[in-house]
Amino acid sequence: MLHENLSVKNGRLHFAGYDTIELCERYQTPLMLLDENMIRSNMALYKSVISEFFPAGSMPLYASKALSFKEMYRICKDEGIGTDIVSIGELYTAISAGFPLERAFFHGNNKLDSDIEFAIDNGLGYFIVDTYDELYAIDRIAKEKSIVQKLLLRLTPGIDPHTHAAISTGKVDSKFGTAIETGQALEIVKVALSLENVKLCGFHCHIGSQIFEISPFCNASDIMLDFINQTRKEFGFVPEYLNLGGGFGVRYVESHGTIDIRQAIKDIASHVKAKCQEYNLEMPKILFEPGRSIVAAAGMTLYTVGSIKEIKGYKNYVSIDGGMTDNPRYALYQSDYTVLTANKMDEPTNYTATIAGRCCESGDLIQEDVQIAKPTRGDKLAVLVTGAYNYSMASNYNKVARPPIVMLGKTDRVVVKRETLEHLTALDV
Ligand code: LLP
Protein backbone atom coordinates (compact mmCIF):
# COMPACT_ATOMS: atom_id res chain seq x y z
CA MET A 1 0.00 0.00 0.00
CA LEU A 2 0.95 3.69 -0.09
CA HIS A 3 2.96 3.52 3.16
CA GLU A 4 4.15 0.64 5.30
CA ASN A 5 1.83 1.49 8.22
CA LEU A 6 -1.28 0.53 6.20
CA SER A 7 -2.74 -2.93 5.83
CA VAL A 8 -6.06 -4.68 5.29
CA LYS A 9 -7.65 -7.40 7.39
CA ASN A 10 -11.16 -8.81 6.90
CA GLY A 11 -12.02 -6.01 4.50
CA ARG A 12 -11.07 -3.36 7.04
CA LEU A 13 -8.30 -0.82 6.84
CA HIS A 14 -5.68 -1.15 9.55
CA PHE A 15 -3.32 1.67 10.45
CA ALA A 16 -0.22 1.34 12.62
CA GLY A 17 -1.49 -2.12 13.54
CA TYR A 18 -4.92 -0.85 14.69
CA ASP A 19 -8.34 -1.63 13.18
CA THR A 20 -9.59 1.77 12.01
CA ILE A 21 -13.26 0.79 12.28
CA GLU A 22 -12.83 -0.16 15.92
CA LEU A 23 -11.12 3.19 16.50
CA CYS A 24 -14.05 4.99 14.84
CA GLU A 25 -16.42 3.21 17.21
CA ARG A 26 -14.30 4.04 20.25
CA TYR A 27 -13.53 7.69 19.47
CA GLN A 28 -16.24 8.67 16.94
CA THR A 29 -15.52 10.66 13.76
CA PRO A 30 -14.09 12.87 12.45
CA LEU A 31 -10.95 11.46 13.97
CA MET A 32 -7.30 12.10 13.40
CA LEU A 33 -4.86 9.27 14.03
CA LEU A 34 -1.10 9.38 14.40
CA ASP A 35 1.38 6.54 14.13
CA GLU A 36 3.82 7.14 16.99
CA ASN A 37 6.31 4.58 15.82
CA MET A 38 6.57 6.22 12.40
CA ILE A 39 7.05 9.69 13.91
CA ARG A 40 9.76 8.45 16.24
CA SER A 41 11.55 6.42 13.62
CA ASN A 42 11.52 9.34 11.17
CA MET A 43 13.06 11.59 13.82
CA ALA A 44 15.59 8.94 14.77
CA LEU A 45 16.49 8.41 11.11
CA TYR A 46 17.17 12.11 10.54
CA LYS A 47 19.16 12.26 13.76
CA SER A 48 21.37 9.29 13.01
CA VAL A 49 21.99 10.11 9.35
CA ILE A 50 22.80 13.75 10.09
CA SER A 51 25.24 12.79 12.82
CA GLU A 52 26.77 10.13 10.59
CA PHE A 53 27.52 12.49 7.69
CA PHE A 54 27.90 15.92 9.25
CA PRO A 55 30.12 17.31 12.03
CA ALA A 56 29.22 16.79 15.70
CA GLY A 57 26.50 19.19 16.84
CA SER A 58 24.61 18.90 13.54
CA MET A 59 20.98 17.90 14.07
CA PRO A 60 17.42 17.91 12.80
CA LEU A 61 14.97 20.50 14.10
CA TYR A 62 11.40 19.30 13.77
CA ALA A 63 9.45 22.06 11.96
CA SER A 64 6.57 22.11 14.37
CA LYS A 65 4.33 24.25 12.15
CA ALA A 66 3.53 20.94 10.44
CA LEU A 67 1.78 19.71 13.59
CA SER A 68 2.11 21.33 16.98
CA PHE A 69 0.72 20.08 20.26
CA LYS A 70 2.40 19.21 23.54
CA GLU A 71 3.03 15.53 22.92
CA MET A 72 4.90 16.32 19.70
CA TYR A 73 7.45 18.37 21.66
CA ARG A 74 7.72 15.63 24.29
CA ILE A 75 8.52 13.18 21.51
CA CYS A 76 11.13 15.57 20.06
CA LYS A 77 12.68 15.90 23.51
CA ASP A 78 12.67 12.16 23.96
CA GLU A 79 14.27 11.56 20.55
CA GLY A 80 16.94 14.16 21.34
CA ILE A 81 16.24 16.48 18.41
CA GLY A 82 15.64 20.23 18.23
CA THR A 83 12.60 22.14 17.05
CA ASP A 84 11.76 25.03 14.78
CA ILE A 85 8.95 27.22 16.09
CA VAL A 86 7.31 30.17 14.37
CA SER A 87 5.18 31.87 16.98
CA ILE A 88 4.99 32.33 20.71
CA GLY A 89 1.99 30.01 20.54
CA GLU A 90 4.25 27.19 19.35
CA LEU A 91 6.94 28.31 21.79
CA TYR A 92 4.46 28.28 24.67
CA THR A 93 3.30 24.80 23.69
CA ALA A 94 6.92 23.61 23.66
CA ILE A 95 7.54 25.21 27.06
CA SER A 96 4.37 23.62 28.47
CA ALA A 97 5.65 20.26 27.31
CA GLY A 98 9.01 20.77 29.06
CA PHE A 99 10.97 21.00 25.81
CA PRO A 100 14.57 22.20 26.39
CA LEU A 101 14.55 25.63 24.79
CA GLU A 102 18.27 25.70 24.11
CA ARG A 103 17.36 23.43 21.18
CA ALA A 104 14.54 25.72 19.94
CA PHE A 105 14.97 28.00 16.94
CA PHE A 106 12.42 30.80 16.57
CA HIS A 107 11.41 31.68 12.98
CA GLY A 108 8.99 34.19 11.52
CA ASN A 109 9.10 37.25 9.29
CA ASN A 110 7.52 39.62 11.79
CA LYS A 111 8.38 38.87 15.38
CA LEU A 112 6.84 41.47 17.65
CA ASP A 113 8.80 43.05 20.49
CA SER A 114 6.51 41.18 22.87
CA ASP A 115 7.37 37.88 21.11
CA ILE A 116 11.09 38.62 21.40
CA GLU A 117 10.77 39.51 25.04
CA PHE A 118 8.72 36.43 25.84
CA ALA A 119 11.23 34.18 24.07
CA ILE A 120 14.25 35.74 25.78
CA ASP A 121 12.56 35.59 29.19
CA ASN A 122 12.00 31.88 28.66
CA GLY A 123 15.58 31.16 27.63
CA LEU A 124 15.13 30.61 23.89
CA GLY A 125 18.20 29.08 22.21
CA TYR A 126 18.26 30.91 18.88
CA PHE A 127 16.27 33.41 16.88
CA ILE A 128 16.32 32.99 13.15
CA VAL A 129 16.27 36.60 12.06
CA ASP A 130 14.62 37.73 8.86
CA THR A 131 15.63 41.33 8.52
CA TYR A 132 17.07 44.52 10.03
CA ASP A 133 14.11 45.66 12.13
CA GLU A 134 14.10 42.40 13.96
CA LEU A 135 17.85 42.34 14.38
CA TYR A 136 17.86 45.79 16.01
CA ALA A 137 14.85 44.89 18.17
CA ILE A 138 16.55 41.74 19.48
CA ASP A 139 19.75 43.65 20.21
CA ARG A 140 17.81 46.36 22.08
CA ILE A 141 15.72 43.92 24.12
CA ALA A 142 18.74 41.71 24.88
CA LYS A 143 20.58 44.81 26.09
CA GLU A 144 17.69 45.76 28.40
CA LYS A 145 17.93 42.27 29.84
CA SER A 146 21.72 42.32 29.98
CA ILE A 147 22.19 39.22 27.88
CA VAL A 148 23.81 38.33 24.58
CA GLN A 149 21.25 36.58 22.41
CA LYS A 150 22.31 33.91 19.92
CA LEU A 151 20.86 34.04 16.44
CA LEU A 152 21.04 32.86 12.85
CA LEU A 153 20.24 35.04 9.85
CA ARG A 154 17.71 33.78 7.34
CA LEU A 155 18.95 34.39 3.81
CA THR A 156 17.23 33.90 0.47
CA PRO A 157 19.51 32.04 -1.88
CA GLY A 158 17.40 32.75 -5.00
CA ILE A 159 16.39 29.15 -5.69
CA ASP A 160 13.16 28.08 -7.37
CA PRO A 161 12.57 24.43 -6.36
CA HIS A 162 9.61 23.85 -8.73
CA THR A 163 7.00 23.20 -6.11
CA HIS A 164 3.61 24.85 -5.57
CA ALA A 165 4.10 28.64 -5.70
CA ALA A 166 2.48 29.09 -2.28
CA ILE A 167 5.08 26.90 -0.60
CA SER A 168 8.16 28.07 -2.49
CA THR A 169 10.13 30.38 -0.21
CA GLY A 170 13.74 30.59 -1.35
CA LYS A 171 13.27 33.02 -4.23
CA VAL A 172 14.69 36.55 -4.05
CA ASP A 173 11.25 38.20 -3.98
CA SER A 174 10.09 36.03 -1.04
CA LYS A 175 8.67 37.71 2.04
CA PHE A 176 11.17 35.67 4.08
CA GLY A 177 14.81 36.36 4.74
CA THR A 178 17.38 38.75 3.33
CA ALA A 179 18.49 38.33 -0.26
CA ILE A 180 22.04 37.31 -1.13
CA GLU A 181 21.73 38.39 -4.75
CA THR A 182 21.01 42.04 -3.93
CA GLY A 183 23.99 42.39 -1.60
CA GLN A 184 21.68 42.99 1.37
CA ALA A 185 22.67 39.72 3.02
CA LEU A 186 26.27 40.84 3.27
CA GLU A 187 25.15 44.16 4.73
CA ILE A 188 23.00 42.55 7.40
CA VAL A 189 25.89 40.28 8.42
CA LYS A 190 28.04 43.34 8.89
CA VAL A 191 25.36 44.92 11.08
CA ALA A 192 24.83 41.71 13.09
CA LEU A 193 28.57 41.46 13.74
CA SER A 194 28.68 45.05 14.95
CA LEU A 195 25.91 44.71 17.56
CA GLU A 196 26.95 44.04 21.13
CA ASN A 197 23.98 42.12 22.47
CA VAL A 198 23.58 39.56 19.73
CA LYS A 199 25.86 36.72 18.74
CA LEU A 200 25.69 35.68 15.11
CA CYS A 201 25.98 31.88 15.05
CA GLY A 202 24.99 30.98 11.53
CA PHE A 203 22.95 31.29 8.38
CA HIS A 204 19.68 29.72 7.36
CA CYS A 205 17.84 29.11 4.12
CA HIS A 206 14.65 27.24 3.31
CA ILE A 207 13.88 26.84 -0.36
CA GLY A 208 10.37 25.39 -0.24
CA SER A 209 8.31 22.36 0.61
CA GLN A 210 7.26 19.04 -0.98
CA ILE A 211 10.51 18.72 -2.94
CA PHE A 212 11.63 15.34 -4.29
CA GLU A 213 14.92 16.29 -5.93
CA ILE A 214 18.27 16.66 -4.24
CA SER A 215 19.65 19.22 -6.68
CA PRO A 216 17.79 22.28 -5.28
CA PHE A 217 19.27 21.50 -1.83
CA CYS A 218 22.76 21.14 -3.34
CA ASN A 219 22.33 24.36 -5.29
CA ALA A 220 21.17 26.16 -2.16
CA SER A 221 24.09 24.84 -0.13
CA ASP A 222 26.51 25.96 -2.89
CA ILE A 223 25.10 29.47 -2.73
CA MET A 224 25.24 29.51 1.07
CA LEU A 225 28.83 28.26 1.10
CA ASP A 226 29.83 30.80 -1.55
CA PHE A 227 28.33 33.36 0.76
CA ILE A 228 30.22 32.00 3.77
CA ASN A 229 33.41 32.19 1.76
CA GLN A 230 32.57 35.82 1.15
CA THR A 231 31.85 36.62 4.82
CA ARG A 232 35.17 35.02 5.71
CA LYS A 233 36.96 37.25 3.18
CA GLU A 234 35.08 40.42 4.11
CA PHE A 235 34.75 40.06 7.86
CA GLY A 236 36.81 37.03 8.85
CA PHE A 237 33.51 35.47 9.88
CA VAL A 238 32.83 31.73 9.51
CA PRO A 239 29.55 30.60 11.08
CA GLU A 240 29.15 27.74 13.51
CA TYR A 241 25.87 26.64 11.89
CA LEU A 242 24.48 26.33 8.41
CA ASN A 243 20.76 25.55 8.48
CA LEU A 244 19.47 24.14 5.19
CA GLY A 245 15.76 24.25 6.14
CA GLY A 246 13.13 21.63 5.47
CA GLY A 247 11.19 20.63 2.40
CA PHE A 248 11.63 16.92 1.67
CA GLY A 249 8.59 15.61 -0.20
CA VAL A 250 6.07 13.00 0.87
CA ARG A 251 4.01 10.56 -1.15
CA TYR A 252 0.30 11.43 -0.91
CA VAL A 253 -0.93 9.29 -3.82
CA GLU A 254 0.50 6.32 -5.71
CA SER A 255 1.63 8.49 -8.62
CA HIS A 256 3.86 10.66 -6.40
CA GLY A 257 7.55 9.95 -6.11
CA THR A 258 9.38 9.03 -2.95
CA ILE A 259 12.59 10.31 -1.48
CA ASP A 260 15.08 8.18 0.38
CA ILE A 261 15.95 10.42 3.32
CA ARG A 262 19.17 8.60 4.16
CA GLN A 263 20.42 8.80 0.58
CA ALA A 264 19.33 12.42 0.23
CA ILE A 265 21.17 13.55 3.36
CA LYS A 266 24.21 11.50 2.38
CA ASP A 267 24.27 13.08 -1.11
CA ILE A 268 23.83 16.58 0.27
CA ALA A 269 26.62 15.88 2.76
CA SER A 270 29.11 14.81 0.09
CA HIS A 271 28.18 17.86 -1.93
CA VAL A 272 28.69 20.18 1.06
CA LYS A 273 31.95 18.44 1.95
CA ALA A 274 33.35 18.89 -1.57
CA LYS A 275 32.41 22.56 -1.60
CA CYS A 276 34.00 23.12 1.82
CA GLN A 277 37.18 21.44 0.61
CA GLU A 278 37.20 23.61 -2.49
CA TYR A 279 37.12 26.71 -0.28
CA ASN A 280 39.29 25.21 2.42
CA LEU A 281 36.51 25.85 4.91
CA GLU A 282 35.84 23.81 8.01
CA MET A 283 32.40 22.31 7.52
CA PRO A 284 29.85 24.14 9.72
CA LYS A 285 27.43 22.20 11.87
CA ILE A 286 24.48 21.46 9.64
CA LEU A 287 20.84 21.79 10.67
CA PHE A 288 17.78 20.58 8.77
CA GLU A 289 14.17 21.48 9.53
CA PRO A 290 11.98 18.60 8.36
CA GLY A 291 8.28 18.93 9.11
CA ARG A 292 6.14 17.17 6.52
CA SER A 293 8.53 14.26 6.02
CA ILE A 294 8.35 13.50 9.76
CA VAL A 295 4.61 13.60 10.36
CA ALA A 296 2.62 13.54 7.11
CA ALA A 297 2.51 9.80 6.44
CA ALA A 298 2.14 9.16 10.17
CA GLY A 299 -1.32 10.76 10.03
CA MET A 300 -4.73 9.61 8.85
CA THR A 301 -8.16 11.22 9.12
CA LEU A 302 -11.32 9.16 9.39
CA TYR A 303 -14.75 10.47 8.51
CA THR A 304 -18.29 9.10 8.36
CA VAL A 305 -20.20 9.35 5.10
CA GLY A 306 -23.46 11.29 5.38
CA SER A 307 -25.50 12.56 2.43
CA ILE A 308 -24.73 11.29 -1.04
CA LYS A 309 -25.89 13.39 -3.96
CA GLU A 310 -25.61 12.12 -7.52
CA ILE A 311 -26.06 14.80 -10.17
CA LYS A 312 -26.69 12.79 -13.32
CA GLY A 313 -24.08 13.48 -15.99
CA TYR A 314 -22.09 15.69 -13.62
CA LYS A 315 -20.77 14.71 -10.23
CA ASN A 316 -21.34 12.47 -7.25
CA TYR A 317 -20.96 14.39 -4.02
CA VAL A 318 -20.18 12.23 -1.02
CA SER A 319 -20.45 14.40 2.09
CA ILE A 320 -18.45 13.69 5.21
CA ASP A 321 -18.58 14.92 8.80
CA GLY A 322 -15.39 17.02 8.43
CA GLY A 323 -13.80 18.89 5.54
CA MET A 324 -11.84 22.08 4.98
CA THR A 325 -12.08 22.91 8.67
CA ASP A 326 -9.78 19.98 9.50
CA ASN A 327 -8.01 19.75 6.12
CA PRO A 328 -7.92 22.95 4.06
CA ARG A 329 -5.18 21.74 1.70
CA TYR A 330 -7.37 20.83 -1.28
CA ALA A 331 -9.23 24.12 -1.00
CA LEU A 332 -5.94 26.02 -0.79
CA TYR A 333 -3.56 24.12 -3.03
CA GLN A 334 -5.63 21.48 -4.87
CA SER A 335 -3.46 18.95 -3.04
CA ASP A 336 -3.74 15.28 -3.93
CA TYR A 337 -4.98 12.80 -1.34
CA THR A 338 -5.72 9.10 -1.30
CA VAL A 339 -9.23 8.28 -0.08
CA LEU A 340 -10.17 4.74 0.98
CA THR A 341 -13.42 3.28 2.29
CA ALA A 342 -12.07 1.85 5.52
CA ASN A 343 -14.96 -0.61 6.02
CA LYS A 344 -15.10 -1.81 2.40
CA MET A 345 -11.48 -2.50 1.57
CA ASP A 346 -12.33 -5.72 -0.31
CA GLU A 347 -14.89 -4.05 -2.58
CA PRO A 348 -14.11 -2.72 -6.06
CA THR A 349 -13.31 1.00 -6.23
CA ASN A 350 -15.48 1.80 -9.24
CA TYR A 351 -17.48 4.73 -7.92
CA THR A 352 -16.33 8.25 -8.85
CA ALA A 353 -16.80 10.54 -5.89
CA THR A 354 -16.17 14.14 -4.95
CA ILE A 355 -15.63 14.21 -1.22
CA ALA A 356 -17.33 17.26 0.25
CA GLY A 357 -17.14 18.84 3.67
CA ARG A 358 -19.99 20.40 5.60
CA CYS A 359 -19.12 24.08 5.31
CA CYS A 360 -21.25 26.60 3.46
CA GLU A 361 -18.54 26.98 0.87
CA SER A 362 -18.51 25.31 -2.56
CA GLY A 363 -14.75 24.92 -2.34
CA ASP A 364 -15.03 22.84 0.83
CA LEU A 365 -13.81 19.66 -0.82
CA ILE A 366 -11.26 17.09 0.23
CA GLN A 367 -10.78 15.62 -3.23
CA GLU A 368 -12.60 15.65 -6.57
CA ASP A 369 -13.43 12.68 -8.77
CA VAL A 370 -11.64 9.96 -6.84
CA GLN A 371 -12.41 6.26 -7.17
CA ILE A 372 -13.89 4.65 -4.06
CA ALA A 373 -16.11 1.67 -3.22
CA LYS A 374 -19.81 2.40 -3.81
CA PRO A 375 -20.66 4.45 -0.70
CA THR A 376 -23.60 4.27 1.65
CA ARG A 377 -24.47 6.52 4.56
CA GLY A 378 -22.46 5.44 7.61
CA ASP A 379 -19.39 4.19 5.71
CA LYS A 380 -16.03 5.28 7.05
CA LEU A 381 -13.72 7.16 4.73
CA ALA A 382 -10.02 7.30 5.46
CA VAL A 383 -7.97 10.14 4.03
CA LEU A 384 -4.32 9.16 4.10
CA VAL A 385 -1.16 11.14 4.83
CA THR A 386 -2.87 13.93 6.78
CA GLY A 387 -0.32 14.32 9.58
CA ALA A 388 1.28 17.53 8.27
CA TYR A 389 -0.43 20.88 7.74
CA ASN A 390 -3.90 19.54 8.40
CA TYR A 391 -4.61 19.90 12.10
CA SER A 392 -2.11 22.76 12.32
CA MET A 393 -4.08 24.61 9.63
CA ALA A 394 -7.52 23.64 10.93
CA SER A 395 -10.13 26.29 11.66
CA ASN A 396 -13.51 26.70 13.28
CA TYR A 397 -15.19 28.13 10.19
CA ASN A 398 -18.96 27.75 10.49
CA LYS A 399 -18.29 27.00 14.17
CA VAL A 400 -17.28 23.47 13.29
CA ALA A 401 -15.39 21.78 16.12
CA ARG A 402 -11.97 20.28 15.45
CA PRO A 403 -11.47 16.53 15.74
CA PRO A 404 -9.42 14.85 18.45
CA ILE A 405 -5.98 13.40 17.79
CA VAL A 406 -5.37 9.85 18.92
CA MET A 407 -1.79 8.62 19.11
CA LEU A 408 -1.32 4.98 18.23
CA GLY A 409 1.67 3.60 20.04
CA LYS A 410 1.92 0.65 22.40
CA THR A 411 -1.61 1.70 23.33
CA ASP A 412 -4.00 4.17 21.77
CA ARG A 413 -4.32 7.46 23.64
CA VAL A 414 -5.95 10.83 23.12
CA VAL A 415 -3.24 13.47 22.75
CA VAL A 416 -5.55 16.31 21.69
CA LYS A 417 -9.15 16.20 22.87
CA ARG A 418 -12.17 16.70 20.63
CA GLU A 419 -13.39 20.28 20.68
CA THR A 420 -16.82 20.65 22.24
CA LEU A 421 -19.58 23.21 21.85
CA GLU A 422 -18.35 24.79 25.10
CA HIS A 423 -14.87 25.23 23.61
CA LEU A 424 -16.42 26.91 20.61
CA THR A 425 -18.02 29.60 22.74
CA ALA A 426 -15.38 29.75 25.48
CA LEU A 427 -13.97 33.10 24.38
CA ASP A 428 -17.28 34.73 23.53
CA VAL A 429 -18.34 37.38 26.04
N1 LLP B 1 11.67 25.48 7.75
C2 LLP B 1 11.06 26.61 7.34
C3 LLP B 1 11.72 27.89 7.53
C4 LLP B 1 9.78 26.54 6.75
O5 LLP B 1 9.20 27.65 6.34
C6 LLP B 1 9.17 25.28 6.59
C7 LLP B 1 7.84 25.18 6.01
C8 LLP B 1 9.84 24.15 7.06
C9 LLP B 1 11.09 24.28 7.62
C10 LLP B 1 9.26 22.76 6.98
O11 LLP B 1 9.11 22.35 5.66
P12 LLP B 1 8.62 20.83 5.37
O13 LLP B 1 9.76 19.92 5.74
O14 LLP B 1 7.41 20.61 6.17
O15 LLP B 1 8.32 20.84 3.90
N16 LLP B 1 1.05 24.75 4.46
C17 LLP B 1 1.84 24.22 3.36
C18 LLP B 1 3.28 24.06 3.71
C19 LLP B 1 3.91 25.35 4.16
C20 LLP B 1 5.34 25.13 4.52
C21 LLP B 1 5.83 26.29 5.28
N22 LLP B 1 7.18 26.21 5.69
C23 LLP B 1 1.23 22.88 2.93
O24 LLP B 1 0.24 22.48 3.50
O25 LLP B 1 1.74 22.24 2.03
Question: Which structural domain, as residue segments, surrounds residue 28?
Answer: 6-35+298-424
For residue 379, report the distance from its CA to the centre of ligand 1, in Å: 33
CA dihedral 427, 326, 361, 350 (to 10 degrees): -160
Residue 72 confidence (pLDDT)? 98
- Domain membership of residue 41 (yes or no) is no
Regarding whether 279 and 252 lie in a shared domain, the answer is yes
- Domain membership of residue 1 (yes or no) is no
401 and 423 Cβ atoms separated by less than 8 Å? yes
CATH of the domain at 373: 2.40.37.10
Regarding whether 214 and 158 lie in a shared domain, the answer is yes
149 and 199 Cβ atoms separated by less than 8 Å? yes
Q: DSSP readout, 308-354? A: EEE-TTS-EEEEES--TTT--HHHHH-----EEETT-TTS---EEEE
**For residue 109, what are the CA distances in angstroms to 142, 204, 319?**
19, 13, 38
Could you tell me how far CA 198 lies from the centroid of its own chain?
28
Q: Which atom of ligand 1 is nearest to the CA of 249?
A: 15
Question: pTM (2 decimals)?
Answer: 0.97
To the query of whether residue 360 is one of the catalytic residues in this protein, the response is yes
Alpha helices in 236-328 (DSSP H): 261-279, 292-295
Pocket of ligand 1 contains residue 290 by CB under 6 Å: yes
Q: Which atom of ligand 1 is nearest to the CA of 329?
A: 24
Residue 174 confidence (pLDDT)? 82
Regarding whether 271 and 339 lie in a shared domain, the answer is no
- Domain membership of residue 20 (yes or no) is yes
Q: Considering 260, 277, 292, which residue would you say is the last residue of a domain?
A: 292
Pocket test for ligand 1, best of 45, 209, 366, 383 (most atoms within 8 A of CB): 209
Regarding whether 110 and 11 lie in a shared domain, the answer is no
Regarding whether 311 and 254 lie in a shared domain, the answer is no
Pocket of ligand 1 contains residue 107 by CB under 6 Å: yes
**Residue 155 burial (C-beta neighbours within 10 Å; 0-12, 13-18, 19+):** buried
Q: What gap in Å lies between CA 128 and CA 177, rounded to an integer?
A: 9
- Domain membership of residue 260 (yes or no) is yes
Write out the H or E segment, with its range, that includes residue 413: strand 412-416
Regarding whether 357 and 233 lie in a shared domain, the answer is no
Residue 151 confidence (pLDDT)? 98
Residue 388 confidence (pLDDT)? 98
Residue 164 confidence (pLDDT)? 58
- Domain membership of residue 94 (yes or no) is yes
- Domain membership of residue 352 (yes or no) is yes
Regarding whether 64 and 137 lie in a shared domain, the answer is yes
Regarding whether 303 and 286 lie in a shared domain, the answer is no
Residue 405 confidence (pLDDT)? 99
List average pLDDT for each run of 10 residues in the chain, which is 429 residues long. Answer: 96 98 98 98 98 98 98 98 98 98 97 98 98 97 98 92 60 86 96 98 96 95 97 98 98 96 97 97 98 98 98 97 98 98 98 98 98 98 98 98 98 98 98
pLDDT tens string 385-423: 999 999 999 999 999 999 999 999 999 999 999 999 999
Q: Considering 292, 325, 354, which residue would you say is the last residue of a domain?
A: 292
What amino acid occupies position 14?
A: H
Regarding whether 133 and 240 lie in a shared domain, the answer is yes
For residue 114, report the distance from its CA to the centre of ligand 1, in Å: 24
Pocket of ligand 1 contains residue 249 by CB under 6 Å: no
- Domain membership of residue 280 (yes or no) is yes
Pocket of ligand 1 contains residue 293 by CB under 6 Å: yes
Residue 160 confidence (pLDDT)? 73
Residue 159 confidence (pLDDT)? 83
Pocket of ligand 1 contains residue 209 by CB under 6 Å: yes
Regarding whether 313 and 276 lie in a shared domain, the answer is no
Q: Considering 251, 271, 292, which residue would you say is the last residue of a domain?
A: 292
For residue 35, report the distance from its CA to the centre of ligand 1, in Å: 20
For residue 183, report the distance from its CA to the centre of ligand 1, in Å: 26
Q: What gap in Å lies between CA 355 and CA 370, rounded to an integer?
A: 8
Regarding whether 365 and 328 lie in a shared domain, the answer is yes
Specify the number of domains making up the chain: 2
Protein residue closest via CA to atom 5 of ligand 1: 206
Pocket of ligand 1 contains residue 291 by CB under 6 Å: yes
Regarding whether 186 and 233 lie in a shared domain, the answer is yes
Q: Tell whether the torsion through CA atoms of 302, 304, 305 and 307 is positive or negative.
A: negative
- Domain membership of residue 323 (yes or no) is yes
